[in-house]
Amino acid sequence: MDEGWLDELAGAGGGAGGGLVRDRDLRATWFVGCDLSGVVVRGSDVAGMEVDSPWLMEGGARLLVNGVDVVPLVDAELNRRFPGRELRSASSPSELRDAWVAVEQAWAATLERASIMPPGTVDASVGGEWSLAQTLRHLVMATDTWLGRAVLGLDEPYHPLGLPNDDHDTQAYDASAFTDVTPTYRARPLRAVSGQRGTNRSESRVACCAARTFRLVSG
C-alpha cells in the first residue's frame, strides 16, 4: 500500500491533522503511537477493528460507537474480568492496602501459570508487544522510578535488571544503570530473594517487594 498519502494527511493543517480520507482501503493497517484523538469514522466498515488504548479511561475521555459512549461499558467489563482493578483509583490508605493485595494476588497467579507453560513461553512476544519477561523487567524499572527515585530519593535507584521504556528518553534516567545482557528468567522461592539488595532498610524493602513480585534474576 502506498503510504505517501498518510504523510500528506499528517501534514494537513500545519501538522495538526484535520484532513479527509475518503474511499481508501486501510484493511489490516496498524496505527502505533499515533494521536487519533478526535478522529471521525463514518460510513466505513470497521468489522474486526481492535483498539488498545491505555489512556481511554482517563480524563473523562469518550469513545463513541454509533453515538454511544462505550468507555463506561469497557471499564465495567475490565473490572469484571480482573477483580481488584476497580481499586486502581483508591484514595485512602485502607483502599491502597487492598489494592496492593489485589496486585500481588494477580501477579502470583500470573507467575504460577507461567511456571507450568512450555519452556520459552515467558520470552514469547505476541502482536509485537513485550514478552512476559520483558514486562516484568520493565515493572522493576517502574517500581524503582516511583518508589526508589521519587519517594525515597535514592541517588542510584535503578536495579540493573530493569528494562527502561523503548522511547529512548535518556534524559529521564541513566541508561548505563541497566544491563545490556538479557538475564535468565526463573522462579525462586520468596525466602531466597528476601533482603538480597539494599544498603538501608527502606531500599531493601523496595527491592524485596520488586523481587517478590517479579522473581527475575540473572545467571
Domain ranges of the chain: 120-214
Residue 193, pLDDT > 90, answer: no
Phi, psi for 87 (deg, rounded to 5): -85, 0
Residue 122, pLDDT > 70, answer: yes
Residue 216's DSSP bridge partners are: 185
For position 108, what pLDDT does the model report?
Answer: 87
Average pLDDT over residues 84-96: 91
Average pLDDT over residues 95-124: 90
Q: Which three cell numbers stand for residue 53?
A: 488504548
pTM metric for this prediction: 0.71
For 125-131, which contacts have Cβ atoms below 8 Å and span 24 or more sequence positions? 128/32, 130/163
Q: How many CB atoms lie within 10 A of CB 210?
A: 25
Three-state DSSP state, 64: strand
Residue 77, pLDDT > 80, answer: yes
**What integer best gives the mean pLDDT of the chain?**
80
- Percent of the chain scoring above 90 in pLDDT: 37
Residue with cell 527515585: 149
Average pLDDT over residues 46-61: 90
List of residues 6+ apart from 128 with CB closer than 8 A: 32
What stretch of H or E contains 68? strand 68-69
Average pLDDT over residues 127-139: 90
